[in-house]
């Protein structure tokens, strides 16, 4: 994997996890703010990753120049560790140049010694002392080289362990990140399900509001019909007042006529008394007329009272209808306000439904983004596993090299002791090199380390 892509993925992953953690801890965060913060964090992390990878690639180029040229123009990369590596590479290059020069010198000496060995002493036998001296010198030269090789093997072993440890740490972090992203994905799915449920509930509320608006419309129509009937009743009652007044006038006229008739009957009675016997029959008629006039007056008075009572009741009914009409008007205004409120509530529910659908769509997009990041994390885990396996193979090779180095050093020690009387029977060895070489005797150590690493990955994912 290229350095730019690796650092972009790692920094982007860290940014996404950080944003997800912050947003998960927040109580209320709107979707636009979520997207803006996520995009800004992701872009910033990618830029930082690109800058870091550019700096490291430039430093790697400097290290490559140092490896290709013994005297590069500049061994300053700007990174202290890589500068130290460049210095060590130059020192090792100088050392191996010296070793090469020594080997050429030893080659010339060996050729010279071989030419000398071809000579014979006076008895015709080879010069054994000279051969021991030559072999001792070769042993000492090879011993110096083996010391350097042992140091290099130990350094490579330490680097391999550091690489393996770093790969293991990277895999564990990636595994924990994968678990966090899976949890975030489940949270997004749960939020999407809740948004769908809320949208369904809002739809049901909208239907209920629509039914309520229909009922309010029917109630408004009924109130309007009641008001129309009330107006019609008031008109009829008002039209009834005029005939009542006319009847009252007629009754008054009848009363006046009865009064005059009674007076005329009284006058007729008086005149019949004056007439004597001739006016007696006329007096009886006049008396009957007077009685009829009295009855008529009494009846007209009763009719007048009834007409006045009817007029008063009619006026009371009109007043009651006026009051009911005002109450109906107030109810009509209240019903109109309720209808307007229901209309506004319907608009708000439609807006809520639109927001719920947009939220569900955004959750789906976020789910796709999380799945993409999860795929990247899985790829990163695979890369870390591959690096760890390669580091394990390199560690195994270093252990084999350490064992071979010890065996070769034993052989060289015997050469070195050819011209040394007090030489120890065995060469002194570095305990770290011995411990490194002893690990090669355990064939299952490599498999055990791999199984332990896999178990660590599984535990990290389960946590």
For the record, the structure tokens of 83 come out as: 């500068």
Position 320 scores a pLDDT of 84
Which burial class, exposed, middle or buried, applies to 451 when counting CB atoms under 10 A from its CB (0-12, 13-18, 19+)?
exposed
Q: Can you tell me the mean pLDDT for 281-307?
A: 78
Is the residue at 221 inside a domain? yes
- Cα-to-chain-centroid distance, residue 232: 66
Q: What angle do CA 208, 213, 215 make, to 5 degrees?
A: 95
Q: Can you tell me the mean pLDDT for 395-408?
A: 65
Question: Looking at the predicted structure, is the pLDDT value of residue 190 above 70?
Answer: yes
Among 68, 89, 106, residue at a domain's last position: 106
Give 216-220 contacts, CB < 8 A, sequence gap 24+: 216/335, 216/338, 216/339, 216/342, 217/339, 219/335, 220/332, 220/335, 220/336, 220/339
Is the residue at 177 inside a domain? no
Average pLDDT across the chain, whole number: 69
Asked if residue 240 lies in contact with residue 317, where contact means CB atoms within 8 angstroms, the answer is no
DSSP designation for 440: G
Determine the angle formed by the axes of helices 128-275 and 80-117, rounding to 10 degrees. 160
Question: Looking at the predicted structure, is the pLDDT value of residue 104 above 60?
Answer: yes
Is the residue at 315 inside a domain? yes
Is the residue at 225 inside a domain? yes
* pLDDT tens track for 126-155: 555 655 665 666 666 666 666 666 666 667
Is the residue at 24 inside a domain? yes
Position 443 scores a pLDDT of 46
**What are the φ/ψ torsions at residue 437 (nearest 5 degrees)?**
-75, -30
Among 72, 90, 106, residue at a domain's last position: 106
Position 313 scores a pLDDT of 82
pLDDT over 70 percentage in the chain: 50
CA-based nearest residue to 427, from 407, 444, 451, 457: 407
* pLDDT tens track for 194-227: 878 887 888 888 888 888 888 888 888 888 888 7
Is the residue at 253 inside a domain? yes
Asked if residue 202 lies in contact with residue 349, where contact means CB atoms within 8 angstroms, the answer is yes
Among 56, 91, 106, residue at a domain's last position: 106
Mark whether 215 and 334 lie in a shared domain: yes
Q: Can you tell me the mean pLDDT for 73-86?
A: 62
Asked if residue 230 lies in contact with residue 328, where contact means CB atoms within 8 angstroms, the answer is yes
Position 302 scores a pLDDT of 83
Is the residue at 457 inside a domain? no
* pLDDT tens track for 250-265: 777 877 777 777 777 7
Position 10 scores a pLDDT of 59
At 271, which CATH number?
Answer: 1.10.287.950
Instruction: State the Cα–Cα distance between residues 147 and 405, nearest whole angstrom.
Output: 9
Total domains in the chain come to 2
Q: Which stretch of 38-52, 246-260, 348-362, 369-383 has the lowest confidence by average pLDDT?
A: 38-52
pTM over 0.85: no
Position 287 scores a pLDDT of 76
Instruction: State the Cα–Cα distance between residues 132 and 114, nearest whole angstrom.
Output: 12
Domain of 335 in residue numbering reads as 208-352
Give 370-377 contacts, CB < 8 A, sequence gap 24+: 370/181, 370/184, 370/185, 370/188, 371/185, 373/12, 373/13, 373/16, 373/181, 374/178, 374/181, 374/182, 374/185, 376/9, 376/12, 376/13, 377/13, 377/174, 377/177, 377/178, 377/181
Residue with tokens 């008629």, as numbered in its chain: 285
Top mean-pLDDT range of 167-181, 261-275, 318-332, 355-369 = 318-332
Position 450 scores a pLDDT of 45
Is the residue at 157 inside a domain? no
Position 130 scores a pLDDT of 56
Position 446 scores a pLDDT of 44
Mark whether 99 and 228 lie in a shared domain: no
* pLDDT tens track for 16-27: 656 565 555 554
């Amino acid at each position: 994997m290229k350095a730019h892509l690796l650092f972009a993925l790692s920094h982007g992953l860290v940014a996404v996890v950080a944003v997800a953690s912050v947003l998960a801890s927040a109580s209320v965060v709107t979707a636009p703010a979520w997207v803006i913060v996520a995009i800004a964090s992701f872009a910033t992390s990618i830029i930082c990753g690109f800058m870091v990878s550019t700096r490291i690639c430039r430093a790697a180029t400097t290290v490559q120049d140092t490896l290709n040229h013994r005297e590069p123009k500049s061994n300053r990369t700007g990174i202290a560790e890589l500068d130290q590596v460049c210095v060590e590479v130059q020192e090792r290059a100088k050392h191996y140049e010296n070793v090469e020069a020594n080997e050429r010198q030893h080659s010339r000496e060996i050729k010279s010694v071989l030419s000398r060995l071809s000579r014979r002493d006076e008895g015709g036998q080879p010069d054994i002392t000279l051969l021991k001296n030559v072999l001792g010198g070769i042993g000492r030269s090879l011993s110096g080289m083996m010391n350097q090789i042992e140091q290099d093997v130990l350094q490579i072993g330490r680097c391999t362990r550091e690489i393996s440890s770093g790969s293991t740490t990277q895999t564990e972090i990636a595994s924990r990140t994968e678990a966090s992203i899976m949890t975030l994905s489940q949270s997004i799915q749960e939020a999407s399900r809740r948004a769908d449920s809320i949208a369904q509930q809002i739809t049901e509320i909208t239907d209920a509001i629509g039914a309520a608006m229909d009922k309010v419309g029917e109630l408004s129509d009924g109130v309007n019909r009641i008001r129309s009937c009330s107006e019609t009743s008031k008109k009829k009652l008002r039209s009834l007042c005029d005939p009542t007044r006319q009847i009252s006038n007629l009754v008054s006229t009848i009363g006046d006529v009865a009064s005059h008739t009674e007076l005329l009957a009284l006058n007729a009675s008086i005149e019949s008394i004056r007439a004597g016997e001739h006016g007696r029959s006329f007096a009886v008629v006049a008396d009957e007329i007077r009685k009829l006039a009295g009855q008529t007056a009494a009846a007209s008075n009763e009719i007048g009272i009834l007409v006045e009572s009817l007029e008063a009741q009619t006026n009371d009914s009109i007043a009651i209808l006026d009051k009911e009409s005002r109450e109906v008007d107030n109810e009509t205004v209240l019903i109109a306000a309720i209808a307007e409120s229901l209309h506004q509530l319907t608009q708000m529910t439609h807006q809520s439904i639109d927001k719920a659908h947009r939220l569900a769509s955004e959750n789906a997009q976020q789910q796709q983004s999380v799945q993409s990041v999860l795929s990247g994390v899985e790829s990163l885990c695979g890369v870390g596993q591959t690096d760890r396996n390669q580091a394990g193979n390199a560690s195994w090779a270093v252990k084999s090299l350490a064992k071979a180095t010890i065996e070769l050093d034993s052989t060289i020690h015997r050469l070195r002791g050819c011209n040394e009387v007090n030489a120890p029977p065995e060469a002194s060895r570095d305990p770290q090199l011995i411990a490194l070489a002893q690990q090669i005797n355990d064939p299952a150590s490599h498999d055990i380390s791999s199984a332990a690493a896999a178990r660590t990955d599984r535990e990290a994912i389960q946590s």
